[in-house]
DNA sequence: CCGATTCTTTGAATCGTTTCATTGTTACGA
DNA sequence: TCGTAACAATGAAACGATTCAAAGAATCGG
């Protein structure tokens, strides 16, 4: 259990100066082949591993980027995280991951931690009101990019997905396969995502003269909430039923599907076409594979890192003008069996 | 965009020595109230935030613990991670999370990164053969605890779950509700978890004279693989059918359930009782809520941190004897509707 | 008022790396 | 052979926090 070898130990062992060892590690071209070989051998023999704390102390900042998400268990964020890690690795940075779990105090703790660690920058999908903290960080030279939240370009960079467009896509698809009596199933419209998706759907319906859209409020965003709405539906008389249902997320859609499947009189997609949102793993393996709206999570994660890099560039010692961009992605329609085939009978 | 304030700036601003500022932060009792107030005011006015790199450089080690999991998207690991983070926070450490994604090279990169960061210790559910790396780390004073993998106590500490016991629990439960013709559905038995669960089931069946266990090999561990097995089952004649099915995980069970639900002649649990493994979120919201075996993920995460603390203690300058413990948890039966009611008709 | 004791405060040394001005070395053309 | 580039190697200083021996201040009993 010996203390780790330092660059000084390596220097002694290789009979060179510490500066030379440093050069071998950072500017190999400045060192002659002979010396380089000797140093590398010494490094190997001593099992030397750079001490990142010392590097970072000297450099004034770390080579890490903080990323705080609302819920790592959510496949949406899992995918964003992975993409961000890969993109960061390409530019030689590592990602420190924090999971706020929708809890403002956990979020705040992570911001503290990351600030102590002197991260290069911060990616965050905020829970609480963190604008003050973020402003303070920026003043210290630590830029922020908001993730999955549209920000005022005058203040922050951000990456987000156009939920209105997604809602439009879903409703438009139902209309395209001939459905006219649509229903929207979603939780409280106080959630921005839900409101936007509904709005997009309404926009699509307004474009088709004889189409209608009914809004069915669900108690939440879970499978059980969906089943609650589904149970109401199956109790209706046939001429009162929608022929196309758009759910604000896949869990709700799966719940609705379960209700319809248990009663064996209504068929998907023949009687009711069904589409969800998010394209979670379970969508493809549902009893009837579920059509859905896929969000470009990889692009979100990758772009967030790119925007952060732009912010860092813009803060270079030369230019001090802030540089913000709000990138909005458009989601994508994924058609499966639950909306397959032509129009309803 | 001013440089962050250092402890020196604080000292100047408060007209005290740097050592005093440090004492205020680390040993408040050593400092008089008057001075403390002055220093705290200065800290506040300058917005001083400790530089962790400098602390860590001086201390020789960080206050962080590395945690490398196979897949953060997997609810099992998500839960372990959260518990570990909370337990670490209690003892004043933070957790650096790495997701190897079952990829040995990503895993290796994270070990490199954590070693450069001089983490206090490492929790890992390994992909590749990392014993050499881990031994090297231990020699440097960085202990490791294996997660979700039973280790030889002579070499490592570990936390794991007794899959044999879980398999026994599941099969025993089916037998307890009167089922006798059991079937096990699982992927290749080369996967240790699958083999152990099967073995436990066989043990339970062996205890009941007139019970039998049939093994149905599934192509994988997914919903679709489960549906494949289910489709085979529904084609059988009634007297050739099992009356209790135990699946090696919940996804398989959900697949089997889908097959049976689509054909409307076999009922769950009346004709076939069904139980899964893992107790994922979807289990409770399946068409027929699924009985399952729950793994004590919170205990796993918490205990992993505790074992690491023990290892660190045991490595203190006084004692050098290694101290390893392999803690094995017993999973828990969760009964829902899919195995409800008494014996089969 | 003095010496002893306790409580506060000080500031230089240290951790391991990078940087950079300086010195040392080599090679080459004149 | 010498002067001059071009190239290599050197080692002290700096980054910011913590530690600790030592100095300074306050308190108390006699």
Sorted by where each starts, the structural domains of chain A and their CATH numbers stand as 7-50 (no CATH), 63-161+298-329 (3.40.50.2300), 163-295+334-339 (3.40.50.2300)
Cβ-Cβ contacts under 8 Å, B227 against chain A: 285
Does residue A49 belong to the interface with chain B, where contact is any CB pair within 8 Å?
yes
Q: How many CB pairs under 8 A join A and B?
A: 123
pLDDT at B19 over 70: yes
Q: Do B99 and A116 touch (CB under 8 A)?
A: no
Nearest chain B alpha carbon to A97? B97
**CA A215 – CA A66 distance, rounded (Å):** 40
Contact by Cβ (8 Å): A261, B261? yes
pLDDT for A317 equals 55
- Among B169, B176, B192, B172, smallest CA distance to B295 is for B169
- Among B283, B222, B235, smallest CA distance to B262 is for B235
Which of A50, A258, A320 is closest, CB to CB, to B287?
A258
pLDDT for A344 equals 40
Does residue B238 belong to the interface with chain A, where contact is any CB pair within 8 Å?
no
Q: Which of B52, B134, B249, B284 to mutate to test the interface with A (most CBs of A within 10 A)?
A: B52
Please name the residue ranges forming H helices in chain A. Answer: 7-14, 18-26, 33-46, 52-59, 75-90, 104-116, 131-139, 163-176, 192-206, 223-234, 250-262, 281-284, 297-314
Would you list the DSSP string of B140-163?
Answer: TT--EEEESS---TTT-EEEEE-H
B261-307 pLDDT, tens digit each: 877 788 999 999 999 999 998 898 888 999 999 999 999 999 999 99
**CA A193 – CA A186 distance, rounded (Å):** 10
Q: List the nucleotides on chain D closer than 7 A to a protein CB.
A: 7-21
**CA B208 – CA B192 distance, rounded (Å):** 25
Q: Do B81 and A75 touch (CB under 8 A)?
A: no
**CA A197 – CA A295 distance, rounded (Å):** 13
Share of chain B above pLDDT 90, in %: 79
Q: Which of A3, A9, A71, A73 to mutate to test the interface with B (most CBs of B within 10 A)?
A: A73
Q: How do beta strands B144-147 and B181-186 pair?
A: unpaired
Cβ-Cβ contacts under 8 Å, B338 against chain A: none
**CA B79 – CA B301 distance, rounded (Å):** 8
pLDDT at B345 over 50: no
Share of chain B above pLDDT 70, in %: 96
Between CA A139 and CA A143, with CA A142 as vertex, the angle to 5 degrees is 95
Q: Give the closest-approach CA distance of B6 to chain A in angstroms.
A: 11
- B 80-119 near A (Cβ less than 8 A): 81-82, 85, 89, 94, 96-97, 99, 101, 109, 112-113, 115-118
| A195 Cβ nearer than 7 Å to chain C strand | no
pLDDT at B60 over 80: yes
Q: Do B109 and A97 touch (CB under 8 A)?
A: no
* C-alpha to C-alpha distances, B320 to A47, B133, B323, nearest whole angstrom: 22, 20, 9
Cβ-Cβ contacts under 8 Å, A53 against chain B: 52-54, 56-57, 62, 117-118
Q: Residue B75: which pLDDT band, with cuts at 50, 70 and 90?
A: confident
Q: H or E segment at B99?
A: strand B94-99
Q: What is the mean pLDDT of chain B?
A: 92
| A131 Cβ nearer than 7 Å to chain C strand | no
Each residue's pLDDT tens digit in chain A (345 positions)? 567 899 999 999 999 999 999 999 999 999 999 999 999 999 999 999 999 999 999 998 899 999 999 988 888 999 999 999 999 999 989 999 998 989 999 999 999 999 999 999 999 999 989 999 999 999 888 999 999 999 888 899 999 999 999 999 999 999 999 999 999 999 888 889 999 999 999 999 999 999 999 999 998 889 999 999 999 999 999 899 999 999 999 999 999 999 998 777 889 999 999 999 999 988 988 889 999 999 999 999 999 999 999 999 887 655 556 789 999 999 999 999 999 975 443
pLDDT at B1 over 80: no
pLDDT for B317 equals 55
| B303 Cβ nearer than 7 Å to chain C strand | no
Which of B73, B223, B282 is closest, CB to CB, to A75?
B73
Q: Residue B219: which pLDDT band, with cuts at 50, 70 and 90?
A: confident
Which of B2, B50, B285 is closest, CB to CB, to A223?
B285
The average pLDDT across B28-49 equals 95
A254 Cβ contact list (under 8 Å, min separation 6) = A223, A226, A276, A282, A283, A286, A290, B285
pLDDT at B316 over 70: no
Nearest chain B alpha carbon to A111? B49
pLDDT for B318 equals 56
pLDDT for B255 equals 93
pLDDT for A322 equals 73
Does residue A136 belong to the interface with chain B, where contact is any CB pair within 8 Å?
yes
Q: Which residues of A309-323 are buried (b: 16+ CB within 10 A; e: fewer)?
A: bbbbebbeeeeeeee
The gap between A19 CA and C23 C1' (Å) is: 14
pLDDT at B107 over 90: yes
Q: List the nucleotides on chain C closer than 7 A to a protein CB.
A: 7-21
Nearest residue: Cα versus C1' of D18: B58
| B31 Cβ nearer than 7 Å to chain C strand | yes
């Amino acid at each position: 259990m010996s203390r780790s070898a330092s660059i000084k130990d390596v220097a002694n062992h290789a009979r060179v100066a510490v500066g030379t060892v440093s050069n071998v590690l950072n500017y190999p071209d400045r060192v002659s082949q002979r010396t380089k070989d000797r140093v590398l051998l010494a490094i190997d023999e001593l099992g030397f591993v750079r001490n990142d704390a010392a590097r970072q102390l000297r450099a004034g900042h770390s080579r890490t980027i903080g990323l705080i998400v609302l819920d790592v268990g959510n496949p949406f964020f899992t995918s964003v995280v992975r993409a961000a890690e890969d993109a960061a690795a390409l530019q030689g940075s590592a990602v420190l991951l924090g999971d706020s779990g929708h809890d403002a105090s956990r979020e705040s703790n992570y911001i503290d931690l990351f600030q102590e660690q002197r991260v290069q920058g911060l990616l965050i999908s905020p829970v609480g009101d963190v604008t003050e903290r973020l402003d303070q960080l920026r003043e210290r030279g630590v830029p922020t990019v908001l993730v999955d939240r549209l920000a005022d370009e005058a203040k922050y960079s951000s990456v987000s997905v156009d939920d209105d467009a997604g809602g439009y896509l879903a409703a438009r698809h139902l209309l395209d396969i001939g459905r006219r009596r649509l229903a929207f199933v979603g939780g409280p419209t106080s959630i921005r995502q839900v409101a936007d998706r509904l709005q997009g759907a309404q926009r699509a319906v307004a474009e088709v003269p004889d189409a209608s859209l009914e809004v069915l409020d669900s108690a939440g965003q879970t499978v059980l909430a969906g089943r609650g709405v589904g149970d109401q539906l199956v109790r209706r008389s046939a001429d009162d039923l929608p022929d196309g249902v758009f759910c604000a997320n896949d869990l709700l859609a799966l719940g609705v599907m379960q209700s319809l499947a248990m009663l064996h009189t209504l068929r998907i997609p023949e009687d009711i076409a069904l589409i969800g949102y998010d394209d979670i793993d379970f969508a493809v393996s549902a009893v009837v594979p579920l059509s859905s709206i896929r969000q470009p999570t990889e692009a979100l994660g990758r772009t967030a890192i790119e925007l952060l890099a732009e912010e860092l560039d813009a803060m270079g010692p030369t230019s001090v003008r802030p540089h913000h961009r709000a990138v909005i992605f458009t989601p994508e329609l994924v058609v499966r069996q639950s909306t397959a085939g032509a129009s309803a009978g």
